[in-house]
Structure formats: structure tokens, C-alpha cells
Amino acid sequence: MKPSRKRKLFDEVCGKWQVSIRRACDALEFDRSTYHYRSRRSDQAALEQRIREICQVRVRYGYRRIHVVLRREGWRHGQNKTRRVYRELGLQLRNKAPKRRVRAKLRDDRRPATRSNETWAMDFVHDRVP
């Protein structure tokens, strides 16, 4: 549970039962520091918006390449923050469908034999050089 949610819970308990923060924290078995906690994380709405824009234009870019683009544009933050925001936005690279191999195509073109000696196959196990 996030500290902001816990803080709301503490306020409800304090208001409903007319108890102090200390008693509410003891009753809910949380530290008082949780109630007084204030996040120091800066607002990242602009960063989120820019990452969304890059992802719409560059569909095949992951968080590493997006981080490089952001650095070139002048954003100064770590790669971990780029990865965290990328993940929080629910962005994910789409997996490419594997390409069909040529061998599989050649196997599909084979026709079944209709008479003897029409179709031959070779199974090459190993070669020994004298």
C-alpha cells in the first residue's frame, strides 16, 4: 500500500474514533514515519508525454533507444528512470513474427512419388576424410 493511501486510512481512523496519529499507527501497526512521509520525486508528466510521443513515432524503440533520444534532446535523468516510466506507461515492444526458413519452403514444394525411382532422398549423417 502506498504512503498516500495509508495516510488517508490514518485520517479516517483519527476522524472516526477521535484518536491521535500515534494511536492510529499503533492500532494499524504502521510506523508514524509512514504518515509523515512526503515524496521527493519530481513531477514527471512532461517526461511521460515525451516518451509516449517517441513511442508513437518509433514503434520499434525500446526504453534504451528512447533514453538515447531523450539525452540528445537535452533531458537529464538516468536510464533506470526511463525504464521505470516506460514500464509504468505499459509500453512494450511488439514481438516480430519469425520469418519462414527457406528449407521449410522447399519441403512444402515436394510432391509425393507416384512411381518407383521418381523421388529420392538422402540422409547425410557424417563424412569421414581418410
Rounded Cα–Cα distance for residues 76 and 84 (Å): 15
Position 66 in a domain: yes
Query: Is residue 59, in this structure, part of any structural domain at all?
Result: yes
Cell of residue 52, nine digits: 509516449
Query: What per-residue confidence (pLDDT) applies to 39?
Result: 79
In a domain, 22, yes or no: yes
Residue 125 grid coordinates: 549423417
Q: Which domain holds residue 73?
A: 45-88
Query: Which among 42-51, 55-64, 65-74, 113-122 has the top mean pLDDT?
Result: 65-74
Q: How confident is the model at residue 106, as a pLDDT?
A: 62
Q: How many Å is the Cα radius of gyration of the chain?
A: 31
Query: Does residue 95 lie within any of the structural domains?
Result: no
Count of domains in the chain? 2
Residue 101 lies in a domain: no
- Residue 14 buriedness (CB in 10 A; 0-12 / 13-18 / 19+): middle
pLDDT tens for 11-30 read 888 888 888 888 888 888 88
Per the domain annotation, does 104 fall within a domain? Answer: no
Query: Does residue 28 sit in the same domain as residue 51?
Result: no
**7/28 Cα distance (integer angstroms):** 11
Taking the CA atoms of 67, 71, 74 and 76 in sequence, report the sign of the dihedral they define: positive
Residue 92 has pLDDT above 90, yes or no: no
